[in-house]
Amino acid sequence: MPGYAMPGYMPPPGYMPPPPPMMPDFGVAKPQSGKAVGSLICAGVGLVGGVLCGVLGIAVLVGIVLGALAIAETGPNGSRTGRGLAITGTVINVVLLLGAVAAGFAWYHYVSQQSRQNLEVDAAQLREDFELIRSRLKTYYERNNQSLAPGGPRLAEHGKPGISNGAPGEALGVVQGALKINDLVWDGELNEYAGNFELTVTGSASCTVRFTAYDGRSHSMKVYDIGKNHYSIIQE
């Protein structure tokens, strides 16, 4: 019949049959980026570690590096998926890093301010101690025939201030040998420990009182003439 090939019909020489239909190309699924997941994990570790232990905060820096690498490999032409995780992990780690830097500056400012305030308080208390010692030196000087030499009345004893109503207590005896701090004041009267003060008499009306703190700081009160109240306080 017309339009239909006869059974056993062979195409003419040189004619190739059409190829079979192609299968649709669905492509190969890209694997998940391990660096993106690692960046997000580092963000969590850094968040907890920043609170519990500052050393663990290094995870934040690792997370930023992993996040940057993950963003590169999950781009349009990249070989991995998980770009959203990579961006999220990187952003969180950067925010944590900036927060840690801000917290560090705030802590440094607080510690510096507290240290400055403590130094101011210590300086004020030391001035009070120097003033008390200078007052006792003048009392001793006046009661010892205007001299800081030995033989004057002791003005203090441990637990027993020798000053009562402005008058020295002769019952405490007289100074034997060179005048010392504990002949003038005792610990209960001072803000600082009396043992940190050293008195060196340099003349009948002059002396040096040196205070050395536990951290090595040293201040001196140089008395040029106790009778005339000529003195100065310097930091050494």
- Say if residue 156 is in the same domain as residue 230: yes
Are 93 and 157 contained in the same domain?
Answer: no
Task: Tell me how far apart the alpha carbons of residues 62 and 48 are, in angstroms, rounded to a whole number.
Answer: 15
- pLDDT bin (cut points 50, 70, 90) of residue 165 is very low
> What mean pLDDT do residues 135-160 have?
88
- In this prediction, residue 188 has a pLDDT band, given cuts at 50, 70 and 90, of confident
Distance of CA 204 to the CA centre of its chain: 49
d(CA 208, CA 142): 18
Residues 41 and 94 in one domain: yes
User: 192 lies in a domain?
Assistant: yes
Residues 217 and 184 in one domain: yes
For residue 167, what pLDDT is reported?
Answer: 46
Closest to 218 measured CA to CA, from 226, 209, 229, 230? 209
Q: Are residues 140 and 76 in the same domain?
A: no
What is the spatial distance between Cα 223 and Cα 205, in angstroms, rounded to a whole number? 8
Strands (E), 101-151: none
Residues 152 and 228 in one domain: yes
Would residue 7 count as lying in a domain?
A: no
Task: Give the per-residue pLDDT at 178.
Answer: 94
**Per the domain annotation, does 23 fall within a domain?**
no
The domain total for the chain is: 2
Q: Are residues 146 and 219 both part of a single domain?
A: yes
- Tell me the C-alpha distance between 6 and 128, whole Å: 129
Contact indicator for 196, 129 with CB cutoff of 8 Å: no
Q: What six digits make up the tokens of 162?
A: 């020798």
Q: What is the pLDDT of residues 210-219, one digit of tens each?
A: 999 888 889 9
Question: Could you list the residue range(s) of the whole structural domain that residue 68 is in?
Answer: 34-111
Specify whether 144 is located in the same domain as 107: no
Burial 135-164 (b: 16+ CB within 10 A, else e): bbbbbbbeebeebbeeebbbbbeeeebbbe
Identify the pLDDT of residue 207: 97
Binned at pLDDT 50, 70 and 90, residue 199 comes out as very high
Same domain? 185 vs 101: no
Give the residue-averaged pLDDT of 9-35. 67
Does the structure show a pLDDT above 60 at 166? no
Q: How far apart are CA 97 and CA 60, in angstroms?
A: 7
Instruction: Name the E strands within the chain.
Output: 156-157, 160-161, 163-164, 167-168, 197-201, 207-212, 218-225, 230-235
User: Would you say residue 137 has pLDDT above 70?
Assistant: yes
Residues 101 and 150 in one domain: no
Same domain? 67 vs 141:
no
Rounded to whole angstroms, how far apart are CA atoms 207 and 153?
18
Same domain, 95 and 142: no
> Has residue 11 been placed in a domain?
no
CA 35 to chain CA centroid, Å, is 34
**Using one digit for the tens of pLDDT, what is the confidence trace for 57-95?**
788 888 889 888 988 888 888 788 888 888 888 898 888
